[in-house]
Structure 1
Amino acid sequence: MRSEYQKAVLDAYQKKKSEGLISINLIGLSPGQLGDECINVYKERPSDEDEGTLRSFFGSRNQAPSYTEIIENVDIDKFRPVKSFIVGKTTNPELRVVELLAWLIDFKPRPYPVWLIEKNPGKITLPPEPPTPKLSKAIITVLLIAFLGFAIYSYLNYGANKVYLPATTQEKCMHWTGNRYEPISCAAQTSTTPIIGIDFQKLNHFKKINTPDKLTKYDLGKVWYAKIYRKVEFYTDSGMHPIDTNRVLRPLTDYMLKTHTSYYRYLLNLLFWALGGIGLLWLLVIIARKYLVFT
């Protein structure tokens, strides 16, 4: 049946062409001319009944006030299949190509489902319009929770290792905040860590390494450590421990690297989070299918 519709549209084109009833653009058939003709036809006889044909060929209009702007900016190569269908180079074109030609020459009845009904009265009915999907509040909530959880994890695990811009301050002292030094008034009474004189080298470069499993042999000579209450802590610069100021940080050794860090553990952790992310994504898909509401 569809091949009959294609033939009917093509025959109508040839008939109108022989009678001189079609635009010069539909005789020249260059992609540019076909685009111009689409704009002319849209302006001359706009119709809601042809919205489906335009959406199928040019895509959704979204926020555009009309299809004129969309057609003006479309890649002209999009019209080449239409020309190929008209001149006979394509014997089995996409239905959207046939529908566009039917619209351009004002072939009736159109589109194909309407033509099919009129050709077979009483036997075929148009399928109902598909409902428009709308995400429910449950899905939006889950997405927000997932995003919030990822943001918190990223902050807790990687926030201390980010690159900071060189600090400048009028303060004469600084204190340790858990991951790095920050300027503070020398007379401050709120700090829970020792307040020491400002040292811009430490202020800008001394950081605690919260993901030591990322360390490799290339970090030897660039990282220092201290063992505090049987737990090894790693830092990006030498000097005294920021809390226990009587303890000197030691340079990272190959032995400490092998016994207290594991790059394979780091990769395994990445794999774990990757699988967790995939699992969460799959869960969201399942929830979306279950709670998808229609209007």
Structure 2
Amino acid sequence: MSKIIFDDYKRTIRTQYEKKKMEDITGILMNPSPAQLRNLCLILFDQSLSNNDEITMKNFFSVKEKEGLRKAIEKCEISRFRPIRSFLLGEKNSDDIGRIDMGAILVDFNPRPFSNFLANKKKEIKIKEDSLQDIKCKKEDPVLSLVSEVGNEIKGLPEKSILNRYKKALTKVALLCSVGIGVVTLLPKKECMQWNTNHYEVVDCSTESSSFLDPRIPINKDRLDLKKLDPQTIKTYFENGNPIIWYAKNGDEIELFNQPGLHPTTDKTLKPITPYIINKYLRE
């Protein structure tokens, strides 16, 4: 479970990066260099850090006992930020929790660090399990109560009256069972999504995957609306001078999408369309 949740943690940090880079007034996150990411750490330090962020940074920068955090950031080789940059841009994956937690700080993703994200996910799973148990109990209790009530009612009554009441009670039991089954049927089972040709589909997480690499990922509302577009159907690429189409290069082919984010199969960051790409690849 932790591996699945860690992958979800990384995906949501990258999604936050796509959102944050559009809002970042410093302009650092739009196309960050390793040196700029180190400078961003200094900016965040000067704005004051939470206890968790300070611990994460001290571990990442290997702060010595008598050395201040700011000094450690200033002395840090910028090459240490290259894997973080590659992770945020979707160029390379990483399973180094220290780097991923640093990425979460740089894009202001919460809850962080991963230990907090993991704890929150486990709480959500526990709440869902408790909710299912409550629904199951509520479904069963009225039936048991009604059966007990029937048993009390039929004592001491004439045979014909017993038969009529017994039929009515059975009808009530059948009705309650139908309602209970309907409630269970409506419970949300589809908590994953997977890419299907040109869009995401919501699918059931509880079954075993038929393929070696499970294509299913936890539902992400920001990515669920992503769609691959047919260039022949696109009437305009820009509105008020701003791109409204994003692309990814797959070999010699250009794939077009309706929103920013990560490519559904490669997890690489989608790029905003440019006149150069249009003229080179999309003009007949």
Report the TM-score range of the alignment, normalised by the length of the smaller protein: 0.3 to 0.5
TM-score by length of 1: 0.39
TM-score by length of 2: 0.40
> Which is greater in Rg?
1
